[in-house]
Amino acid sequence: MKVEQTLEEQYEERGDDHVGSSQDTPMRKDAFELSDTEKISHIQENVREIMLTLGLDLEDDSLKGTPKRVAKMYVNEIFGGLHPDRKPKSSTFDNKYKYNEMLVEKNITLYSTCEHHLLPIVGKAHVAYISNGTVVGLSKMNRIVDYYAKRPQVQERLNIQIVKELQEVLGTEDVACVIDAKHLCVNSRGIRDIESSTVTAEYGGKFKEETLRREFLDYINLDTEF
């Protein structure tokens, strides 16, 4: 009993320290055996039980629909990136312009969820790549960020997943991603520091070179006002 309590305390402390376990999102082998409709039904009942345990009156007009709303939001929206069928199709095109410098898509709005407390992560992602003969549509970079953000996440893992996906799509190692985000598990609970944000980066290929990395960071810091 004492061993189990110690392990539970360690897991709780690990979550507060925002430690990730792997580069891949931890998923069970039977993750997709249930349909989305079945998942919504299960989650709805569990959310209902949580709310009842908290002492909430689910007969109140304001709360009646909350369990189903939460269940649909989990499956179809904020955790929609868990399902491989929702992975964006990323068509590539020949680099006919022969543009050989880096292309940067910055200030991509990012909404994710901390996997330790299931509270929001809100911030910006900045993505860059250097073409080796193919290019990808600009909106697809945003969609890739959005797809991997829509799952329980650790920010470092999110960086890695975005970069690995674009490397595979473009057939090049020369991809980079910087994320600057606020974690509400830090801002609204625990230490409750509303000013702090977390910055993480993943650099592949030529972006590991200091000169190119610095150029990328300079692009990010350019003022963009229209």
For residues 130 and 115, the answer to whether their CB atoms sit within 8 Å is: no
Q: Which of 105, 126, 153, 155 is catalytic?
A: 155
Cα Rg, the chain, nearest whole Å: 20
pTM greater than 0.85: yes
pLDDT above 90 for 100: no
At 3 the pLDDT is 47
How many alpha carbons fall within 13 Å on the CB side of residue 123? 26
At 6 the pLDDT is 52
Q: Which of 44, 105, 115, 165 is catalytic?
A: 115
At 160 the pLDDT is 98
Residue 126 is among the residues annotated as catalytic for this protein: no
Q: Which of 44, 114, 126, 177 is catalytic?
A: 114
Please report, as a single letter, which amino acid is at residue 36: D
pLDDT band at residue 98, thresholds of 50, 70 and 90?
confident
Q: What is the mean pLDDT of the chain?
A: 91
pLDDT band at residue 225, thresholds of 50, 70 and 90?
confident
Q: Which of 44, 105, 177, 183 is catalytic?
A: 183
Q: Which of 126, 153, 161, 185 is catalytic?
A: 185
Q: Which of 105, 116, 161, 177 is catalytic?
A: 116
Q: What is the dihedral of CA 12, 18, 24, 27, to 10 degrees?
A: 30
Q: Residue 71 belongs to what H/E stretch?
A: helix 66-72
pLDDT above 90 for 119: yes
- 152-153 and 102-114 beta bridge pairing: parallel
For residues 123 and 110, the answer to whether their CB atoms sit within 8 Å is: yes
At 7 the pLDDT is 47
Angle at CA of residue 18, ends 217 and 73, nearest 5°: 90
At 191 the pLDDT is 85
Q: Which of 44, 117, 126, 165 is catalytic?
A: 117
Share of the chain above pLDDT 90, in %: 77
For residues 220 and 126, the answer to whether their CB atoms sit within 8 Å is: yes
pLDDT above 70 for 75: yes
Residue 177 is among the residues annotated as catalytic for this protein: no
Report the interhelical angle of 138-149 vs 155-170 (nearest 10°).
Answer: 140
At 1 the pLDDT is 54
Residue 83 is among the residues annotated as catalytic for this protein: no
For residues 6 and 69, the model is more confident at 69
Beta strands in 75-137 (DSSP E): 92-94, 102-114, 120-130, 134-136
pLDDT in tens, 3-55: 455 546 555 665 566 566 688 999 999 999 999 999 999 999 999 999 999 99
